[in-house]
């Protein structure tokens, strides 16, 4: 029997400094005797933001800011390199850092010259941070006697050509993973793979979108048929609520794929929402663990769990807006209007978080992220131009002053009267409910309230559902 195969992913803070990288290398080393290991990394924290803002500065023609950006990237990674790699070997690694930054500098210079920021070039340069962090982690592993090999995510993950957040093709990716990672794993070497970046079939660089390195790790774990995926991050796992809103929030030891996906989708920051699909299909368990407190149990995500059914966690999203569409009479078909509105959202690649409709008046609303309002409203005005111009419809209205909260839990169906209890808890605090939605899977009840009521609502529902730590038990350490 080969040793079990474990994929470990390290997030930005978990490789965010020389000491964090050393900690990450220790966590890998600890499993090296018992497991076959593949590692996926994010860029050091805030590095991707800096790269993207440097490219924006290049487009504006701000050469000084471009130099400053690249200078800051250089000094961050050089300092980490000097702290991690002994002087005799550091100069070779410093050269490699310079080579990686050169590629970024070339892209930025092109943009400076053209005053243009072609999306393809952005996708090529954006995973620069991952190239740097993967280099540093692999070097650190070698320092501790673990054979490690740098592998570019773009050599493994094949995607469509969508700019800024491409869709992976799993079969081709699995072939690449077998061909490239198979031999490394067989010889006991640890591949250290750059997250976030991928490539289209013709080799054009793509990315999996912001925060996409979780997804990279999931795709690779699925492709390798790994026994488990561990996501190392800077929080203890998935909590019953944001502890800044409800300090009594509890760590959830187990959640299902469905629950975790709903939580991520509705605002929980621990996981990228797209992460779980390839893992759930293959029943690969995921653990979310804190690399700064590795003794903690973390949260385990699997197909089913033994906890009591009902609400498990409350999440919220404050950066959302309600787009309302209303016909003036009954001459337009509601279903057709909704279909057109959804088609507009789909073309703009915008996620509709929630949609509700009144039964008689031809009025419905869609909840979208604040950043998505503009493309959706523009698209709607274009698509409905004739109806709007002839007064068949009221002008499209946007309400930014709303927030979304979601109560999530497998088997809420088994708890009758739950919705009523939630509404009562809100009305007792004078919270006005603007819209509600519950899917027939009864995994999530989503409620739209005024943005100013969001925090109160979340903590009211968290306590109504009895999700906090009992007051008498001291917090676990």
Task: Quickly list DSSP for 97-110.
Answer: HHHHHHHHHHHHHH
Least CB distance to ligand ASP at residue 14 (A): 10
C-alpha 467/C-alpha 445 separation (Å) is 16
Contact map string, positions 107 to 136, toward ligand ASP, x by CB under 6 A:
----------------------x-------
Cβ nearer to Mg ion, comparing 42 with 315:
42
Contact map string, positions 346 to 365, toward Mg ion, x by CB under 5 A:
--------------------
Burial readout 41-66 (b: 16 or more C-beta within 10 A, e: otherwise): bbbbbebbebbbebbbbbbeeeeeeb
φ, ψ at 186 (rounded to 5°): -65, -35
Cβ nearer to ligand ASP, comparing 9 with 250:
9
C-alpha of 118 from chain center: 24
Least CB distance to ligand ASP at residue 234 (A): 12
Cβ nearer to ligand ASP, comparing 194 with 362:
194
Q: Identify the residue among 12, 168, 267, 278 touching ligand ASP (CB under 6 A).
A: 12
Could you tell me where the DSSP H helices lie in 187-267? 213-223, 257-265
Least CB distance to ligand ASP at residue 128 (A): 10
Burial readout 288-325 (b: 16 or more C-beta within 10 A, e: otherwise): bbbbbeeeeebbbbbeebebeebbbbbbbbeebbbbeb
Cβ nearer to ligand ASP, comparing 220 with 311:
220
State yes or no: residue 213 binds ligand ASP (CB under 6 A): yes
Exposure of 72 by Cβ count < 10 A (0-12 exposed, 13-18 middle, 19+ buried)? middle
Q: Identify the residue among 197, 211, 237, 409 touching Mg ion (CB under 5 A).
A: 211
Angle between helices 47-60 and 63-84 (to 10 degrees): 160
Cβ nearer to ligand ASP, comparing 10 with 364:
10
Cβ nearer to Mg ion, comparing 41 with 447:
41
Q: Given the structure tokens 């409905």, which residue do they identify?
A: 384
Give, as one character, the DSSP assignment of residue 447: E
State yes or no: residue 195 binds ligand ASP (CB under 6 A): yes
**Stretch in the footprint of Mg ion (CB under 5 A) among 10-18, 96-104, 119-127, 430-438:** 10-18
Within residues 87-106, the interface with ligand ASP by CB under 6 A covers none
| Residue numbers at the binding site for ligand ASP (CB under 6 A) | 12, 42-43, 48, 129, 195-196, 210-214
Residues near Mg ion (CB under 5 A) are: 11, 211
């Amino acid at each position: 029997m080969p040793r079990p195969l474990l994929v470990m992913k390290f997030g930005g803070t978990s490789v965010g400094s020389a000491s964090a990288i050393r900690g990450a290398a220790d966590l890998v080393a600890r499993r090296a005797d018992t497991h076959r290991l593949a590692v996926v990394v994010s860029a050091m924290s805030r590095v991707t933001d800096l790269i993207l803002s440097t490219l924006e500065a290049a487009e504006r023609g701000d050469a000084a800011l471009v130099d400053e950006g690249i200078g800051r990237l250089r000094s961050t990674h050089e300092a980490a390199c000097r702290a991690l790699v002994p002087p005799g070997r550091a100069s070779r690694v410093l050269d490699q850092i310079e080579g990686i930054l050169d590629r970024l500098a070339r892209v930025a210079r092109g943009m400076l010259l053209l005053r243009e920021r072609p999306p393809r070039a952005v996708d090529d340069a954006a995973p620069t941070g991952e190239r740097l962090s993967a280099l540093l982690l692999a070097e650190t592993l070698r320092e501790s006697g673990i054979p490690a090999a740098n592998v570019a995510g773009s050599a493994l993950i094949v995607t469509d050509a969508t700019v800024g957040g491409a869709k992976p093709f799993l079969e081709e990716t699995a072939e690449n993973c077998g061909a490239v990672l198979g031999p490394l794993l067989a010889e006991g070497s640890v591949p250290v793979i750059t997250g976030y970046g991928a490539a289209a079939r013709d080799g054009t660089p793509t990315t999996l979108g912001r925060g996409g390195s979780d997804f990279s790790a999931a795709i690779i774990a699925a492709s390798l048929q790994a026994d488990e995926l561990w996501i190392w991050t800077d929080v203890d796992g998935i909590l019953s609520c944001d502890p800044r809103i409800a300090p009594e929030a509890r760590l959830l030891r187990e959640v299902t794929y469905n629950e975790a996906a709903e939580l991520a989708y509705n605002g929980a920051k621990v996981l990228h929402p797209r992460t779980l699909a390839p893992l759930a299909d293959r029943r690969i368990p995921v653990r979310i663990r804190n690399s700064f407190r590795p003794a903690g149990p973390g949260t385990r995500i699997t197909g089913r769990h033994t906890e009591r059914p009902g609400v498990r966690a409350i999440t919220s999203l404050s950066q959302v807006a309600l787009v309302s569409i209303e016909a003036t009479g009954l001459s337009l078909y509601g279903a057709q209007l909704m279909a057109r509105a959804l088609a507009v959202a789909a073309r703009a690649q915008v996620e509709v978080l929630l949609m509700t409709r009144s039964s008689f008046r031809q009025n419905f609303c869609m909840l979208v992220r604040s950043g998505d309002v503009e493309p959706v409203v523009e698209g709607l005005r274009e698509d409905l131009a004739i109806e709007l111009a002839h007064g068949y419809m009221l002008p499209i209205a946007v309400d930014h002053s709303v927030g979304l909260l979601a109560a999530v839990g497998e088997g809420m169906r088994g708890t009758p009267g739950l919705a009523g209890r939630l509404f009562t808890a809100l009305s007792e605090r004078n919270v006005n409910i603007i819209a509600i939605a519950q899917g027939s899977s009864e995994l999530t009840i989503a409620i739209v309230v005024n943005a100013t009521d969001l925090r109160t609502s979340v903590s009211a529902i968290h306590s109504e559902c009895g999700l906090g730590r009992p007051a008498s038990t001291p917090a676990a350490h």
